[in-house]
Every structure is written in C-alpha cells, then in structure tokens.
A = this chain, B = another copy of it.
Amino acid sequence: MTSDGCTPPSLARCLPRPNRPGGDVGKDFRVSKDLRLSDEQRLDWLRLIRSDNVGPRTFRDLINRYGGAHAALAALPALARRGGASGPAQIFPREDAERELAAAKARGVAFIALGEPDYPQRLQMIDDPPPLLSVRGKLSALARPLVAIVGSRNASAAGLKFAERIARDLGAAGFGIVSGLARGIDAAAHRGSLASGTIAVLAGGHDRIYPAEHADLLESILADGAALSEMPIGWEPRARDFPRRNRLISGLSAGVIIIEAARRSGSLITARLAGEQGREVFAVPGSPLDPRAEGTNGLLKQGATLVTEAADVIAVLEPILGRTLDLPAQEPDLVPRLDGEPGEDQRSRIVSLLGPTPVAIDDLVRLSQTSAAIVRMVLLELEIAGRLERHGGGLVSLI
C-alpha cells in the first residue's frame, strides 16, 4: 500500500486542518523543505485528482488511507463498487495524464504538488488545497506575502482608479497582488501591480483565458508575476468554476480587499470564503446611493476592515505576516493509516442513515454505533461511487 513511496505520503499529517483564526495552524504540518515528487509520482497524483468523483478533499482522504496516489488509484475500482456506483470507476487514463503533462511543459506550465517548496505557503492551510497547481510565469512571485484585490466587473471610473492605485501602493510595499483576471476591478488591480508582481488565478485551463480580451494582459502579468490554475489544460471555464476558483484567490492571500461589489456578486463569495479561511477581509466604502457599494458597505457592517489607502491594509497585515507559519522540516511519515474495513452490515447501517437531507458526520458515528474510521471509509466509498455530496460544517447527504 505504500508502493508509490509518494512523498508527502501521509497527508493526514502533511495536510493541514482547516485554518481557523487564532488557531495553531502549523501544528499538523510535517513537510520537508526539500520535498519533490518523482515524475512517476506526479503522474499518479495527476491521474488521481483528475479521476471522477475525486476532489481535493477526497484526494486527501485517499492518500491518508492508502499512503500514496499509486495505491489509491489501485483501490478506486473496489471503492466505487462497494460504494454502489452505477458503473466501473472512471480512472483518469495514464496516457491522458502523460499528454496533459507534455502539453503543460510545451506551454511553460509547471505542476507544483502540495508540500513541495514552491507550493504557496498559505494555500496549504485551507481546507481543500489543490493537490497539484499548474503555474505559468515566475514562481518567485508566489513566495511573497500576497494580498487579493477583487471587485465588480462593471466598476466605476473611481473604483478602477482606486484599484490600480492601491495595487501599486501595496506592490511597492512588498506585497504580491492576487486577482481573477476579470474585467473591471480585477484587471485594474493586475495592471497597477505589473511591475511589482501580480498573480492571476484562472477558473479554466492555462490555454482557455477568460475573458479572451485579457490574453495580452495575462502576457504582461507573466513577465514578473504568474498565472495559476487547478484545472486541466484545455478546460473551458463554466459558471460554477468561478466560485471554486475564488477559494484559491482568498486562500493564497493573507487578506482580501473588496472594491465595489453589488449585492450577491462573486466578490462577496470571495469575501465569505476569505472569512471561512481565516483571512482578513477588507472593504472599500462607497456612497449608500451607489449600488456598486452595497456589497462592500454590507461587508463593513459585518466587521470587515475599512480601507481608503494601502496603509490601512498594511497596518492589519504586518503583524500577521511577521508570524512564522511554523512548518518544521522533517522526514515524512510513510505509514498509511490502517483503519478497519467496514463490514457489510456496518456499511448498510450507515447508508440507511443517509438521505437527501444533509446530516452531520458526528451524528452518523453516534447513530450507526460504529467508529469514526469506519464511517469515514464508507463515506469515501460513496464519494468515489459518485453518490455522496459533502456540505459545509461536516454535513453530508446522498445524491
């Protein structure tokens, strides 16, 4: 089960718990500073994360369970069967993975694995970090303290001016600026920080730039900054990929600045994710009569820090950045977790407790009178079988 010798193999230790404000986020890290996947390991990681029903959280659970991606891939068919999948497990073919790696290389895209030294430090600390990040541009841009700037696509002239100004000022103060390459505020933030280094996080593949008219802007960004994606080369971004992408914008950053956001806009999703990830949320005030300020004024009412200049952001983030993230260099623990296999009666008892209404995993453990390890395993099977949906707050439901 440890045949792929994948490092960092014990993601139970390597992967952090969800970052909570004030929590000792570094406690569970066991990351060697010189960790590097072999080419073969990277291929297995890519196959595993590209396989059906495997997202970042399931990837972590599988690696924790089987000690490495190779062993996890081998286990997928049985897991899907036991979870009651309608057909065989859809495992990402080796050839497709090889083709993706070759295509990435041809475009100057590097894959960085979670736990490798170039992997952005803060992003490791979120609940669901991508196992593999594909990066174009300067990797060094990811090593700075990062601040995200996001906001309306349909921004006012004043909003655009302000975004460009604060991005330039924060860049000059040593921050890298993260944004989403969208029209409006995002583009202005990137433009203001081209010289100091800015990072565009893409919702699609590196060859599917959205919006297309920002292809030139992206090229300018790559000179001193970088573009990031967790999606495959060739992936056309869909609407639901943008909120998913937004968790990376906030996750990379120590804080997120929202400039002009209407009610129920994507920027507010980023703000919410930032809060959940324990990131500082900053908002720029605006007139109560300007609909573009409704979202930001609302954030301020909820306790976001009011920003009118770069100094407001620096004052809050400087002490946070001074804190070390406490990642001790240490050899990884190669032993997979040897949870018991669920028996058929345990599995059916747990499945019978599930339905379309989300229930707490804790309740499942209690009501099924089995162990947390057994429940976790059955949920993993169901997930691989495409039958489980995970909600926030440890809630799950059947699809």
Contact = CB atoms under 8 A, between A and B. Distances in A.
A342 interface: no
Contacts of A212: none
Nearest to A300: B306
A289 B308 CA distance: 8
A288 B285 contact: yes
9 contacts: A162-B289, A284-B287, A285-B287, A287-B287, A287-B290, A288-B307, A300-B306, A301-B308, A301-B312
Given A161-B289, A285-B287, 10 more contacts: A162-B287, A162-B288, A284-B288, A285-B285, A285-B300, A286-B286, A286-B287, A287-B293, A301-B306, A301-B308
Nearest to A166: B288
A309 B289 CA distance: 10
B308 A288 contact: yes
A297 interface: yes
A293 B159 CA distance: 14
A159 B288 CA distance: 9
A338 interface: no
A285 B297 contact: yes
A106 interface: no
Contacts of A306: 285, 297, 300-301
A289 B159 CA distance: 9
Interface of A: 158-159, 161-162, 284-290, 293-294, 297, 300-301, 306-309, 312
Contacts of A159: 287
Q: Which of A158, A294, A301, A307 has the most chain B CB atoms closer than 10 A to its own CB?
A: A301
A306 B307 CA distance: 13
A34 to B, nearest CB: 45
A119 to B, nearest CB: 35
A293 to B, nearest CB: 7
A376 B289 CA distance: 53
Contact of A300 (B289, B294, B300, B309): B300
A352 B307 CA distance: 50
A285 B161 CA distance: 18
Contacts of A293: 285, 287
Nearest to A293: B285
A158 B291 CA distance: 12
Contacts of A300: 285, 300, 306
Contacts of A290: 158, 287
A146 to B, nearest CB: 22
Nearest to A289: B158
